[in-house]
Chains A and B, each alone.
Chain A
Amino acid sequence: GAGVSQSPSNKVTEKGKDVELRCDPISGHTALYWYRQSLGQGLEFLIYFQGNSAPDKSGLPSDRFSAERTGGSVSTLTIQRTQQEDSAVYLCASSPLQGTQYFGPGTRLTVL
């Protein structure tokens, strides 16, 4: 079946612009996660959704970052006024309730 998909696969933007990253989870997966992975680094947790609710936003690095999920499916991560330090790969994962996470291919964000 279809896995987790993310779009765009690559995004180059100028400092100060807003960007939106999209995640389509595996159908039926109620949990959705966003992570950030800087070059050569591990995974940094950003936010967790259960359905459309985000009970854990503790990893969002600043108020420039926000995320939403609609219809218990698609999620959008928005970064406002991008900074060069936001450059990273943004990974989305989904899972059944208390199940195993499956990851998407990621969006590579480059802020010039």
Chain B
Amino acid sequence: AQKVTQAQTEISVVEKEDVTLDCVYETRDTTYYLFWYKQPPSGELVFLIRRNSFDEQNEISGRYSWNFQKSTSSFNFTITASQVVDSAVYFCALRPGTYKYIFGTGTRLKVLA
């Protein structure tokens, strides 16, 4: 089965706190890609990052960082020093083959001032 689980439905943090959004995936494919998208209140999904299954190196982009661990089939996303503008729904997605994306149900992040 191919599946993405985002167990956290909603998270609320106070501004400047760090927050980690969890993503666990299932696939039998050895080659696959993982993605994170942000959907702010405006509604348009914004691409954040893509990772292939052969690259477990963690990545940092400003306040954002991603931790990919094949051993636990997880691709977690951490926002450091959260800001109100980070409030959005965040989707994790898996692409096990050449085209089809499997999305998680999303985590709604609320950052309170």
B98 to chain A: closest residue by CB: A98
A31 to chain B: closest residue by CB: B99
Chain A 96-112 interface 0/1 with B at a Cβ cutoff of 8 Å (1 = within): 00101111111000000
| CB-based contact A101/B44 at 8 Å | no
Complex partner residue of B44 from A42, A48, A50, A106, CB under 8 angstroms: A106
A45 within 8 A of partner (CB):
yes
Contact residues on B (Cβ < 8 Å of other chain), bracket: 10 to 19
A103 and B99 contact, Cβ closer than 8 Å, known pairs A42-B104, A42-B105, A43-B91: no
Contact residues on A (Cβ < 8 Å of other chain), bracket: 20 to 34
C-alpha spacing A48/B102, complex, angstroms = 13
B44 to chain A: closest residue by CB: A105
| CB-based contact A101/B47 at 8 Å | yes
B64 within 8 A of partner (CB):
no
C-alpha spacing A97/B99, complex, angstroms = 8
A50 and B99 contact, Cβ closer than 8 Å, known pairs A43-B91, A105-B43: yes
Spell out B's residues near A (CB within 8 Å).
35, 37, 42-47, 50, 91, 98-101, 103-106
